[in-house]
């Protein structure tokens, strides 16, 4: 942006100062001072580096370069590891010092452990993703190749980011997993909380409007369509009327379940038994046994016909 | 893109010329000639500058730089003011000269007034946003800190952009507010027309698929879930059969209302009384008094069980 | 990203190698070796070049430059043609050699033919888009100008990208059309398979959550709202239990139909007769004749009122 200003712009200073005064009273902004926290865009860059490591030449950072095969994959991976470490350290310090967290103490050591565990888990994450790719290819009549699935399917991108973010949740990294999962939400319309546990061979088709809550546990080879909600039925409150955080409040979905578009399944005690099929737009707030077929007696719409012209 | 072309590409010129001829007959493109209108990307850059002024170091342009505290906030704000002014002037001229608008006349003076009024309103916009952040933190069991809300919640981003765009609507700026709100729609799946009036402490959870129409009036401390529509029931037409623009056609929602996922509330005469709760998937086209609980007698889905293997 | 690494990062090499070994067994990644396939971002850049050719100065690459009128439109078009050609050649080779495709043989010749046909079709694509712009302007009471429609309406962007991608489908280009349509899906929440056939004067309002399947055939002057699905009722399987690809499985929608928000219309034999109106949230799996009005007997929601404080 240019630095030559209309002369009257300097007169805006008192108004800007008023905005800044409000900002200063905001606990978030005030506490951010002195911390060189990673910006959203920095975290997304790290995410893209990891995605590129998992699908070299197909997705993520420098896909064209890695496609050509004339890159140094190990160097790319080392850069990504370093960048992930550099994001985690200041975030850990922020949460340590300001939220009085006492679990980590040595934030550099914590961050190193997270990165090491992440790389240890890398191969099994990639194995799961391979099954996800196959599930999409086999489950969608419109899919013409596995390359098409990897390079264009939003459901595959969403589960890729989820598997990355969920590994960081397991390592108790604050903030960063949620920024990653909301980036995937922004790109795909699929909102998976990074805390959700999801088995391999998972396929979300179309995907816009899908919501999968924090405490969901989903088995293997589950298939979900657009607009499906796996959500909370109600929120527990403590004696002061504040919401209780961290309790189980979202359903479990066992192996081999298919959930059609627009279905809503709610509640932490709700279990969808394995190999069940849940029909479009169904509203379900109780468990069903394995091999259930659940569907709405769809209201036959009224059709009024007036032949014309 | 490279400038060395396959030799046959020059033979495409007549076809390109045909496309261009169609473009020239388009009123939008034809009328754009001679105007250096701001591109979408320029308007988004201005928007990010304003967001960065409201949440320094957390969101928007140069978040990492402003996080570090070694920036000049006043200089950033001045650049943003100048850039906003530079966007408004040509848009005002375009609308003045081509749509025969007669209300502004002196477009530079108009643009200066808009920027001054925007900065005057800045502190109260920021105050409202602070209440929005608190509402999200207190209303979502999955929220672990206010920083997480600011840096990753799509509902917070959507209301931030809305409060900016709505201030510009109040100043009668054409085009720019809608480009801003559609940018937020693109990033979040939340479609709030910039003309809607929304009180503070507003929280949209998940958010994908939410639609809030132009003439909605929403009170304070309202909470909305994904897929909620506050829309029009029908459109008035004039005697020539054209839609009448600008009439009240979307509902009012009073203070403290909660609207669960997928509910549809329609009509300009519809008022949801304060402290009401509207259940998931409800279809509502009439007013309800304060403290109402509105829910569907959800159709119990049919469950067929076939125990197997 | 920086190249100075923490000393322990080199110890991650065996883990990275394990990830890479899994990647090497992936048919997609392994087969990508030796091919300089275009990255997603490269395909999106080509798309933006084409969009800019269709709406010079309003949308796409270099909108601000083209707005000013001091650009060389022919040079821009030639660059776009070259870039499109350069994307198609390696993709055609990949599909030829790895999927044993035998239809093209000379991939350079194939790619040239695609580009030539694309430019031939350019003027008629632009004519259709002009009718789309008018349909949006006339169909939405909130639209204040055609410029606003072009510069901010997600439905217009989605149909623009669709008309481009569908022309490439007609030329039998693999992969690239789907990457383009999923880019539009990502930006707008509107998921139109590039294979769908859609007449001119098409308007999608709000649009988030719309799904239009591969084998849909849609007439002229059709209007669709957010959350509408034109989908498959079931998938045919072959004797081995694999899905049959390529069969007609999505509905036809004739001229002048309006489909309100959240309606679901399924099945390859379903035909919505011309000038019909389909109400919000309707679930429809059979044909209706022309001029039908189809609506749900909406369940009157239960309203419990408890006047208080």
Q: What is the CATH number of the domain that holds A114?
A: 1.10.3130.10
CA–CA dist B83, B115 (Å, integer): 10
Binary contact (A226, C209; C-beta < 8 A)? yes
Is C199 among the domain residues? no
- Report residue B303 as tokens: 């469950």
Higher pLDDT, A72 or C5: C5
* Shared-domain flag, residues A47 and A185: yes
Is A198 among the domain residues? no
Q: Please tell me whether the overall predicted TM-score, pTM, comes out greater than 0.80 for this model.
A: yes
Binary contact (B127, A8; C-beta < 8 A)? no
Q: Strand B292-295 vs strand C302-305: parallel, antiparallel, or unpaired?
A: antiparallel
Q: Which of B151, B208, B227 sits opposite A179 (nearest CB)?
A: B151
C45 and C51 Cβ atoms separated by less than 8 Å: no
CA–CA dist B165, B192 (Å, integer): 10
ipTM: 0.91
Which residues, at least 6 apart from A51, have a Cβ–Cβ distance to it below 8 Å? A59, A60, A61, A160, A161, A164
CA–CA dist B47, A1 (Å, integer): 13
Binary contact (B145, A95; C-beta < 8 A)? yes
* Shared-domain flag, residues C179 and C231: no
User: How many C-beta atoms lie closer than 10 Å to residue C306's C-beta?
Assistant: 11
- Report residue C197 as tokens: 């056939």
- Report residue A65 as tokens: 């370069």
Higher pLDDT, A160 or C30: A160
CA–CA dist B276, B279 (Å, integer): 10
What confidence tens digit (pLDDT) does each residue in C193-244 have? 999 999 999 999 999 999 999 999 999 999 999 999 999 987 777 888 777 7
Name chain B's partners: 3 or more CB pairs within 8 A: A, C
Nearest CA in chain B to A21: B123
CA–CA dist B31, C148 (Å, integer): 13
Beta bridge partners of C198: C218
Residue B214 has what pLDDT? 95
* Shared-domain flag, residues A303 and A186: no
Q: Sorting pLDDT into bands at 50, 70 and 90, what band is A57?
A: confident
Instruction: Chain C: give the shortest CA distance to residue B266, in Å.
Output: 11
Residue A62 has what pLDDT? 60
Is C244 among the domain residues? yes
Q: A74-78, A174-178, A218-222: which range is least confident on average?
A: A74-78
DSSP-derived 3-state class of residue B132: helix
Residue C88 has what pLDDT? 95
Q: Measured over all CA atoms, what is the biggest interatomic distance in chain A, rounded to whole angstroms?
A: 79
A285 and B279 Cβ atoms separated by less than 8 Å: no
CA–CA dist A194, A158 (Å, integer): 11
Is B4 among the domain residues? no
Is A125 among the domain residues? yes
* Shared-domain flag, residues A166 and A232: no
Residue that is last in its domain, among B129, B155, B190: B190
Instruction: Chain B: give the shortest CA distance to residue C216, in Å.
Output: 23
Residue that is last in its domain, among A137, A157, A190: A190
Q: Which of A63, A116, A154 sits opposite C186 (nearest CB)?
A: A154
Is C239 among the domain residues? yes
User: Which residues in chain C are closer than 8 Å to B189, comparing Cβ atoms?
Assistant: 189, 208
- Number of CB pairs, chain A paired with chain B, less than 8 A apart: 223
pLDDT at A64 over 60: no
Express the helix, strand and coil content of chain C in percent, nearest 5 each.
45, 15, 40
pLDDT at B22 over 60: yes
* Shared-domain flag, residues B157 and B262: no
CA–CA dist A230, B134 (Å, integer): 25
Q: Strand A292-295 vs strand B302-305: parallel, antiparallel, or unpaired?
A: antiparallel
Q: A61-65, A235-239, B143-147, C75-79: which range is least confident on average?
A: A61-65
Is B197 among the domain residues? no
H-type helices in C171-259, by residue range? 176-188
* Shared-domain flag, residues A39 and A163: yes
CA–CA dist A162, A177 (Å, integer): 9
Q: Which has the closest alpha carbon to C224: C187, C264, C197?
A: C264
* Shared-domain flag, residues A110 and A70: yes
Nearest CA in chain B to C120: B15
Binary contact (B78, A245; C-beta < 8 A)? no
Binary contact (C37, A64; C-beta < 8 A)? yes
DSSP-derived 3-state class of residue B183: helix
Q: B57-71, B229-243, C32-46, C187-201: which range is least confident on average?
A: B57-71
Is B198 among the domain residues? no
* Shared-domain flag, residues C174 and C247: no
Instruction: Chain B: give the shortest CA distance to residue A56, in Å.
Output: 23
pLDDT at C308 over 60: no
Q: Say which CATH number the domain at C263 has.
A: 2.160.10.10
Q: Which has the closest alpha carbon to B229: B204, B247, B256?
A: B204
Express the helix, strand and coil content of chain A in percent, nearest 5 each.
45, 15, 40
CA–CA dist C176, C43 (Å, integer): 7
Binary contact (B19, C189; C-beta < 8 A)? no
Q: Which of A20, A204, A275 to mutate to test the interface with B (most CBs of B within 10 A)?
A: A20
Higher pLDDT, C110 or B4: C110
Residue C124: exposure state from Cβ atoms within 10 A (0-12, 13-18, ≥19): middle
Q: Average pLDDT over chain A, rounded to whole?
A: 89
DSSP, residue by residue, B43-78? HHHHHHHHHHHHSTTTSSTTHHHHHTT-S-HHHHHH
User: Which residues in chain B are closer than 8 Å to C260, comparing Cβ atoms?
Assistant: none
Q: Where in the sequence is the domain holding A102, given as residue range(s)?
A: 33-190
* Shared-domain flag, residues B178 and B291: no
* Shared-domain flag, residues A217 and A301: yes
pLDDT at B105 over 80: no
* Shared-domain flag, residues B157 and B281: no
User: Which residues in chain C are closer than 8 Å to B27, comparing Cβ atoms?
Assistant: 146
| Rounded average pLDDT over B139-147 | 87
Q: Which has the closest alpha carbon to B143: A182, A98, A271?
A: A182
Binary contact (C64, B37; C-beta < 8 A)? yes
User: Which residues in chain A are closer than 8 Å to B138, comparing Cβ atoms?
Assistant: 242-243
End-to-end CA distance of chain B: 59
Q: Which has the closest alpha carbon to C211: C154, C131, C265, C278?
A: C265
Q: List strands edge to edge, sheet with C264-266.
A: C191-192, C211-212, C229-231, C264-266, C283-284
CA–CA dist C279, C259 (Å, integer): 6
Q: How many domains does chain B have?
A: 2
* Shared-domain flag, residues C183 and C279: no
Residue B216 has what pLDDT? 98
A118: enclosing H helix or E strand: helix A107-139
Residue that is last in its domain, among B190, B221, B243: B190
Most confident of B75-79, C86-90, C265-269: C265-269
Tallying the residues shown for chain B, one arrives at 309
């Amino acid at each position: 942006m240019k630095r030559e200003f209309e002369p009257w712009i300097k007169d805006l200073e008192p108004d800007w100062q008023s905005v800044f005064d409000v900002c200063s009273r905001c606990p978030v902004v005030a506490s951010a001072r002195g911390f060189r926290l990673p910006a959203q865009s920095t975290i997304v860059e790290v995410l893209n580096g990891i995605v590129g490591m998992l699908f070299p030449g197909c997705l993520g950072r420098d896909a064209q370069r890695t496609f050509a095969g004339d890159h140094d994959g190990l160097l790319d991976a080392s850069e990504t590891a370093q960048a992930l470490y550099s994001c985690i350290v200041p975030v850990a310090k922020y949460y340590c010092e300001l939220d009085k967290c006492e679990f980590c103490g040595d934030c550099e050591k914590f961050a190193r452990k997270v990165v090491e565990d992440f790389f240890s888990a890398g191969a099994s994450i990639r194995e799961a993703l391979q099954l996800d790719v196959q599930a999409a290819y086999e489950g969608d009549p419109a899919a013409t190749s596995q390359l098409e699935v990897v390079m264009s399917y939003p459901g595959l991108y969403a589960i890729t980011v989820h598997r990355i973010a969920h590994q960081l949740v397991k390592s108790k990294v604050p903030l960063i997993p949620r920024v990653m999962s909301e980036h995937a939400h922004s790109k795909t319309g699929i909102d998976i909380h990074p805390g959700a546990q999801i088995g391999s061979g998972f396929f979300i088709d179309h995907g816009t409007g899908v919501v999968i809550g924090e405490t969901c546990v989903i088995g293997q080879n589950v298939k979900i369509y657009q607009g499906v909600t796996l959500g909370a039925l109600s929120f527990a409150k403590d004696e002061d009327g504040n919401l209780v955080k961290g309790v189980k409040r979202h359903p479990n979905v066992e192996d081999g379940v298919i959930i059609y578009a627009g279905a809503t399944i709610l509640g932490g005690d709700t279990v969808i038994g394995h190999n069940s099929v849940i029909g479009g737009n169904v509203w379900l707030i109780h468990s069903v046994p394995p091999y259930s077929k659940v569907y709405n007696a769809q209201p036959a719409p009224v059709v009024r016909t007036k032949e014309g012209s």
